[in-house]
Amino acid sequence: MHVIRPFPIAKLVLEKSLLTYRMNFGQPQDVYPTMWFIEGPKEKIVVDTGTDAKTAARLGFRAEQISNPGEALSRIGLQPDDIDVLILTHMHFDHMEFAKQFSRARIIVQRSEYESAINPHPLLARGYMRETFPDSSRFVLVEGDSEIVDGVRVLLTPGHTPGCQSVAVKTDRGTVVICGLCTIHENLFPKEEVSKLFPVITPGIHTNVLEAYDSLMLIKRLADIALPLHDATYSFKEVIPW
């Protein structure tokens, strides 16, 4: 069975409404671009790489660096060159800026996401940074749900981006799903007064709000443990399941 080790790479401060659609305007929210290491019996797998705080600051975000992939992986005796598989939930800069460091890894991304990132709509272009993209030969493009290795599969969960994907991992406590949409705990588990109306809150940043809602509902249905992508409650766990 697998376990997941989260490594927060940076801290960004956003307006909370960017994470919770049509709610929480004007409220600051700390978010953590996180690298997730999946420890299993054979392949060494990383989900996302985080970002450089300097890049985020240049784009107008308040940001600070917590770690970097090499430093984080060294805590478990590894380096980026040791990783076999890099899964990108999507190709926004804060999820893949360090992808080139994983020189041996095959990079798993949805075809629809890759095509959107390579030729983005003008409204989406700011989120993608072509200079951070590894050579196209490094990518393995999948279409829809796909098993990557035994016990680890990707799920097409669009809405935040055209080809956003989540990662389902079999563990000794059931299926853990790393939510590919940019989320905090409140997106998947809203406060009581909101949950009476909506069982999930879609991200404020999305390409299709209805798809994003349906994707979060799918994740909640499939997951024994659902991991929001940017929440300190989960990003700072030593190991998942805990």
Q: Which residues contact 52 (CB under 8 A, 6 or more apart)?
A: 10, 65, 68, 97, 98
pLDDT tens digit sequence for 17-76: 999 999 999 999 999 999 999 998 889 999 999 999 999 999 999 999 999 999 999 999
Report domain extents, the chain: 3-235
Residue 96's identity, in one-letter code, is M
pLDDT tens digit sequence for 204-214: 999 999 999 99
Q: Extract the tokens encoding 104.
A: 């041996």
Question: Is the CB of residue 35 less than 8 Å from the CB of residue 209?
Answer: no
pLDDT tens digit sequence for 126-183: 999 999 999 999 999 999 999 999 999 999 999 999 999 999 999 999 999 999 999 9
pTM for the predicted model, two decimal places: 0.96
Whole-number Å distance between alpha carbons of 174 and 242: 12
pLDDT score of 41: 80
Looking at residues 186-191, what average pLDDT do you find? 96
Q: Extract the tokens encoding 229.
A: 């992508």
User: Going by CATH, does the domain composed of 3-235 fall within 3.30.70.1350?
Assistant: no
